[in-house]
A = this chain, B = another copy of it.
Amino acid sequence: MRSVGSHLIFELWGCDDSINSPEIVQQTLRELTEVAKARLLGLHLHPFSPQGVTGVAVISESHILIHTWPEIGYAAVDLFTCGEPVDPDAVVPVLKQRFNPTHVQVLQLFRGIAGD
């Protein structure tokens, strides 16, 4: 099965206050870029008032995204990569270490599947 990219979707619940920190979100994006062995092209942070952060790492033709809702301890993380798919088992430890979720769900989509 040929596909253009792997799109990993993480749902994190029970996160601690770290998800309200733009600095920690930014650091997590950098670490995930390393895990994905990707080239970082741009890093954009948008803190919200009174709380919440959106962070986008644009990597070579793909992206890593973190949206956080500290008021409910929830964070949505997307990792869209080209080439060799990133192993979710390499990503989850980073997310657990940074955000301390009590529950993690993972979904993997393959984007751009070409039929022959």
Contacts and interface: CB of A to CB of B under 8 A. Distances in A.
A65 interface: yes
A50 interface: no
Interface stretch (A17-25, A27-35, A41-49, A92-100): A41-49
A106 interface: no
Contacts of A112: 11, 69, 72, 74, 76
For the residues of A in contact with B, the DSSP-based class is strand
A44 B44 CA distance: 8
This chain's copy number in the assembly: 2
B9 A109 contact: yes
Contacts of A61: 48, 52, 54, 67, 69
A3 B35 CA distance: 29
Nearest to A63: B65
What 7 A-B pairs have minimum CB-CB distances, sorted nearest first?
A: A74-B112, A76-B111, A46-B58, A41-B46, A56-B56, A44-B44, A54-B58
